Amino acid sequence: MKGLFRVPKPYLFLALTLAVLLGLNLISSSVQAVSQVTYEKLRVFSEVFRLIKQNYVEDVDEKTVLYGAIQGMLKSLDPHSSFLTPENFKEMRVDTKGEFGGLGIEITHAERGIRVVSPIEDTPAFEVGMKAGDLIIKIDDESTEDMELMDAVKKMRGKPGTAISLTVVRQGETKPLTFKITRAIIKIRSVKWRLEGDKIGYVRVIQFNEQTYPLLQEALTDLAKNAGGKLKGLVLDLRNDPGGLLDQAVQVADAFLDKGLIVYTKGRIEGKDMSFESQEGDLLANAPMVVLINAGSASASEIVAGALQDHHRAVVMGTRSFGKGSVQTIIPLSDGSGLRLTTAKYYTPSGRSIQAKGIEPDIVVEDLDIGGVRNKTPRTTEADLRGHLEDGDGGKKTTPKKKKETTTKETTTKETTSPTADPAKPEGSEEEAELNKDRVTGRSKEDYQLQRALDLLRGFQVLKSHLTGDAANSLARK
């Protein structure tokens, strides 16, 4: 009887795969029956695996080949689903703690490399002049064209004090730029704040990690104390905030809402949808708010902006946000690896899907440079990513026609090695730009968008002072 159950070795993986699939079907009524087409394709997979083992020019590591197959399967779904090797799974868990060794940039997939979503302020990448929109085409001497996102993260991280070279393409530059960056311990203080004139607070959320809500509470307490007990308004700056933890986004939005829905999710699995309601208590005591967003505001940032906008709790100002409206669930696997799988889309309280559309500001204010010239830098958004999910419930993906990658034109700092540097450029210009940088906002001290936000809040105070009784109370509630 022993020989009856023997499976030829080349087909062992196929047999095990089919056994798992059959087992899943038996224990879960929600899993549809595996089709004949699926069996046929699994047979092809087994054949390819056998041929690689037998005929490839060099010996292959089975784990590497199988992990690569899984990575390819996830990559075919959407830009945010991915397979995490045990090493990458550990790296991912480090991300949410807000401290790690590396460069300090948020990245995403692009058609011909790795795209910078946003450099994190006060990190090595930020200091040498890397910009949102830069296309990383090489890490040291290795091309990133077919590199997995987590592999890129792993290569960029390392022992503090060690150096790495990144080659990037940037619009307006005729040749790639090379940045030599020394790794450091990245301690992301995710919230910065200061008191502006007229008792108006400014709070900037750099990203949503485990520190964010506690730091927001600290910020509001400190600002109210310095304002003599109560703030008269607040600017919440979410520009270039790439997102992060969902629970932190919910808590930040809840900090300014007394009641109502914050965000809800919808996916394929019945009964797995989630919704998050705000709890009573507005930490700002209903003082007026302006939320600043731009194309670098993604995911958790969009949840906060969308919730405050839908509840008319804040005026959203700036430019359209990134448009990442999907939820990724992290699923640990038996060998220490993990699966980052897009399982749902999230919706604002009014039922808007942000996916590939973003948050449209109530008041559009373009980003102007110091001289008042409009910054026409093109910014990559979710809708530009190959294979992105469409908005709504259809879950359809788009595969855009191949086009030239667009990159951004930004001024680099003195540490940048640029083969196209203009020898006629005044030596002090980059240093002057650095001196003019605001260390809290991370922008020019003449930040046009911020000034317009402050003007709006000051105008509200003036208008309120000219109204009395019911009219003033009605204005305060709006």
CB of 441 closer than 8 Å to CB of 450: yes
Tokens representing 189 are 């203080």
Rg over alpha carbons for the chain, rounded to the nearest Å, is 25
**Candidate list 138, 192, 266, 324, residue with the active-site label:** 324
CA dihedral (69, 70, 76, 78) in degrees, to 10, reads -150
Run of H or E including 456: helix 448-465
Residues in the chain: 478
Cβ neighbour number for residue 383 with a 10 Å cutoff = 16
The rounded distance, in Å, linking the Cα atoms of 157 and 166 is: 13
- Which of 78, 237, 310, 447 is an active site residue? 310
Q: Is there a catalytic annotation at residue 310? A: yes
Buried b (16+ CB within 10 A) or exposed e, 385-397: bebbbbbeeebee
Sign of the Cα pseudo-torsion (134, 135, 138, 139, in order)? positive
Whether residue 202 contacts residue 237, with contact meaning beta carbons closer than 8 Å, is answered with yes
Question: Of 81, 297, 299, 326, which residue is the catalytic one?
Answer: 299
Tokens 């070279």, residue? 165
Q: Which amino acid is at 10?
A: P
Task: Locate all alpha helices (DSSP H) within 262-337, ordered by sequence.
Answer: 300-310
CA-nearest of 349, 340, 371, 301 to 109 is 340
Exposed, middle or buried by CB within 10 Å (0-12, 13-18, 19+), for 318? buried
Contacts of 6 (CB under 8 A, 6+ apart): none
Report how far residue 252's alpha carbon sits from residue 216's, in angstroms, rounded to the nearest whole number: 8
CB neighbours of residue 187 within 10 Å: 12
Q: Which of 260, 356, 364, 352 is nearest to 312 (CA)?
A: 260
CA distance 83 to 390: 22
Tokens for 35, please give them. Answer: 């089709």
Spell out the residues 6+ positions from residue 322 whose beta carbon is closer than 8 angstroms to its own: 117, 242, 295, 296, 297, 298, 299, 302, 358, 381, 382
- Write out the catalytic residue numbers: 299, 310, 324
